[in-house]
A and B are shown apart, each in its own frame.
Chain A
Amino acid sequence: MKVLLSGNEAVARGAYEAGCNIATAYPGTPSTEILENLRKYKDIYVEWATNEKVAFEVAVGASFAGARTLVAMKHVGLNVAADPLFTVSYEGVNGGFVVITADDPGMWSSQNEQDNRWYALMAKIPMLEPSDSQEAKDLIKLGFDISEEFDTPLLFRMTTRICHSSTPVTLEDKINHPIKGYVPNVSKFLCLPSNARRWHPIVENRLLKLQAYNEQLNKNLMEINDTSIGIITSGISYQYAKEVFPDASFLKLSMTYPLPIKLIKEFAGKVKKIYVIEENDPFLENNIKILGIQVTGKDKIPICGELTQAVLKKSFDISTPKPTELTVKIPERPPVLCPGCPHRGAFYTINKLKLHAMGDIGCYTLGAFPPLNALETCVCMGASISNAYGIERASTPEDKTKLVAVIGDSTFFHTGVPALINLVYNNGCTTVLILDNLITAMTGHQQHPGTGKTAREEPARKVSIEELVKGCGVKRVFIVDPYNLDELKTILKREVAIPEPSVIIARRDCVLRIKPQFAMKVNNETCTGCKLCVNLGCPALTFKDNKAYIDHILCTGCGLCQQVCVKKSISQEPKC
């Protein structure tokens, strides 16, 4: 029987069927649902780690102890985990170890479009790329076997369209792989130069063996049809290429590093003209060109942005029907902070105080958009604090008193802590505003060290942000309710001016996790249409017939609009 599974669900299912024992992750779109779905399988231990590096190292430890382990992260997460990745490539594994990177071509929910296939090449480890959910499930199982057979971590490369597309999958039974148990093996698991010098040639030799293995792998698919065009492709690009060139010959690779050189040469001998069709970087193309095989790829197909069948058609000048032309202008609908989002008050206050705020990764990055316009930089997870402090170092004494770093709770645990310690240690004075909504919100409400719950929502020890911050040496620590604009403004204004580090924790539950009891309403008699409330950027608040209007269904009764209304025209009513 077939079921429709997303790529992420299929990966989880595949790991279960492969007898995976332990799985770790840090949430990040498009990878988050892998661990969430692994929770369905009670005999797999799952955990949300504080960041990808930690998740990776926990998984490595479990593998050293003979457990089949999986670690999942989004593409930029692998940058965080890159340090252990490169060394574990030398050390090898004990239990099968699969590293999942979920890349985001098109940047649907990411800050860059990096192509993580290069990591396989650089770390000298095998890589598998599924092109649909069935393959995601099958290849994950194969991935554990390859990892064990060749004593190597394995990179499993997904992309947004694989992660979040659902395609039919046939379910199979689980094969048990009991944990072998930890046996010390210093000459294998302790990286010292003397050991690593011995390991490096083994790694190079492993690549040759993996290449020979890939030549015979039945998951690589050669379809010889019309031989005038041969297409070499992998992953989701295969589906787009099949759609556009149904009659062409295909070499679809499932294992894309190290490449099956003989197989590629064999295919090249059978077809006249070869196109390499791949999304983002010319990874396959460059590596095939090195073999001396003439192929065309990025000369025609764009490197930037998501590949689609439409993009392919355009690249190959295949005619498409005339585009639909509209006579009306369609207003944009960008993502916005939710009605009642506790972050709104913080951004409104930052804007009013004309502070320079350095942002971080999470829902709150949306505070950069109008009308809040509250954030000025954003680089990567945890960078707000170090960025703001760096700007402080290069600023005039006057500008130093206007700096604030804005970071969420989960992001603070992720990589904000070392940045805060650095700020304290180096005598900085930047103010840090931790927007604590008591959950990892952007990715869909995952637990973290501050929530007191495990990934399975069972009780866990809770790490207190205020105690942690005090332990880092911050003397001035304040907890405020972000729904209280006056208090927030008073504290923030005072703290940025003080020449020592302070941490303000603006704490309130993510509004999507509470059931609102109230909604606000506007008194049309007294509303003058001044738009002060509209500047909060709340989706529940609109401007109709020159008066403010509050949508009762959308409103959660946070009361910010009531606080900013000078005419006292906004009041609370019970939610119906």
Chain B
Amino acid sequence: MKETSVLICGVGGQGILLASDLLGKVAIEAGLDAKKSEVHGMAQRGGAVVSIVRFGEKIYSPIIGENEADFILSFEILETLRQIKFLKKSGICIVNNYELPPFSVSTGIDKYPENIPEEIKKHSKEMFLINGLELAREIGNSKTVNVILLGALAKRLSFPKECWIKTIKEHFPPKIIDINLKAFELGYNS
């Protein structure tokens, strides 16, 4: 299997690292080599956060250069644009339809760009816009947005669904397994 690179991005505190953890575990579960890279510390205090997961027969670098990601899974619509240079022209974007204005925007210095989905489409083969928060509220837990988005990504990757379900069951404490399985299904079928 040729290597696949997934870039997961968003804003510190959105549950990005959990999503990349799960994806990495699923790849190992499926018997592949996998590497995952992320940055902690200063970068997490409400700043832009990026995590990269790569899997395939043999992976060397845990990070990627421009034009090397097969997928971008984005938790915040503007952050997709910040990272889109890393996406291959043939790459796919799965984007949470959610705006979190950076500080310069909320104070009126900068403007939140308009027509972001159109811009994303220009630089990707396909884009899927997911109403993560809306779906999460449907199942009564707004904290499950990350697993919903992961479900949407899972649908487009080739891992067996059982691998995902097994990994979710192993990863979460018993009390919140069911709600996360529900969230995963919701994303998978969105």
Binding site for B on A (CB under 8 A): 2-4, 29-30, 32-33, 108-109, 132, 160-161, 164-168, 236, 238-240, 242-243, 308-310, 313, 320-321, 323-324, 326-338, 363, 366, 371, 442-444, 531, 534, 537, 539, 541-543, 553
Contact = CB atoms under 8 A, between A and B. Distances in A.
B160 interface: no
Contacts of A531: 107-108
A494 to B, nearest CB: 31
Given A2-B28, A4-B28, A323 B41 contact: no
Interface string B31-47: 00111111111111111
A4 B51 CA distance: 15
Interface in B87-140: 87-89, 101-108, 110-116, 119, 123
Contacts of B61: 239-240, 242-243, 308-309
A335 B28 contact: no
A324 B42 contact: no
B106 A542 contact: yes
Given A4-B24, A313-B65, A326-B119, A331 B102 contact: yes
A217 to B, nearest CB: 22
Interface of A is mostly: loop
A262 B57 CA distance: 34
Contacts of A337: 45
Interface of B: 11-12, 21, 24-25, 28, 33-48, 59-67, 78-79, 81-82, 84-85, 87-89, 101-108, 110-116, 119, 123, 142
Given A4-B25, A164-B38, A338 B66 contact: no
Nearest to B44: A335
Nearest to A363: B45
Contacts of B12: 335
A9 B24 CA distance: 15
A161 B37 contact: yes
Contacts of A160: 39
A521 to B, nearest CB: 16
A335 B102 contact: no
Contacts of A320: 65-67
A392 B163 CA distance: 63
B48, B104, B107: which has the most chain A beta carbons within 10 Å? B107
26 contacts: A2-B28, A4-B36, A29-B40, A30-B41, A109-B42, A161-B62, A166-B36, A166-B62, A167-B62, A168-B33, A308-B61, A309-B61, A309-B64, A323-B66, A324-B67, A327-B119, A328-B115, A328-B119, A330-B113, A331-B111, A333-B46, A333-B103, A335-B47, A338-B46, A442-B42, A442-B45
